Amino acid sequence: MLDRLPQLVNADAVLRYRGRGLNTTFLVAVGAQEWLLHIDDGKVARVEKGPFRMPTYSFALRGGEEGWMRFWQAVPPPYYQDLFGLMRQGELRAEGDLRQFWARVMYVKGVLGALRGQAGAA
C-alpha cells in the first residue's frame, strides 16, 4: 500500500517541487498498521512498514482503516476528499511537531493523495 509512494511521488515533478527542502520522517497509521515515510528534499526516500518499538518521527497522522479507504477512493465521498475532512469526521488525528506538518501541509496532502484511485490502496 504505502510502499508504492516512492514511485508515485518521485515521478511527480510538481509534488517534488512543493516538498523541496523538506527533510523529515513522519508516521502514517492506517488502523493498527503503521508506516514511516522518510522524506529527503521532497522525495520519498524510503517507506518502512511497522510494527515499531520506538519510532522516531516529526509528526504522525493516525486514522482508522475505513476513513483512509474512503480518502483513497478515486472519487471520495463528501468530507473524505481532504485530510481536514477526515479530521472533521473524527477519522484522523495529527500529533507530534505540527509546525512541520502545517508548514508543508500541501505537500503532505499531495503525498497521501497520490494513492487515490490506486487499486487495493490498503
How much is the pTM?
A: 0.91
Residue 18 has pLDDT above 80, yes or no: yes
Which residues are within 8 A (CB) of 102 and not within 5 positions of it... i.e. 6 or more apart? none
119 belongs to a structural domain: no
Return the number of other C-beta atoms located less than 10 Å from residue 16's C-beta.
18
Task: Identify the CATH number of the domain in which residue 11 sits.
Answer: 3.30.1050.10
Helix (H) or strand (E) holding 6: helix 5-10
Residues 6+ apart with CB under 8 A from 63: 29, 30, 71, 86, 91, 92, 93
> Which residue range is the domain that position 73 belongs to?
2-113
Residue 72 placed within a domain: yes
Q: What confidence tier does 17 reach under pLDDT thresholds 50, 70, 90?
A: very high
Summarize pLDDT for 48-104 with one digit per residue, the tens.
Answer: 999 999 999 999 999 999 999 999 999 999 999 999 999 999 999 999 999 999 999
Could you tell me what percent of the chain has a pLDDT over 90? 93
Tell me, yes or no, whether 121 lies in a domain. Answer: no
Tell me the pairing of strands 23-30 and 59-63.
parallel
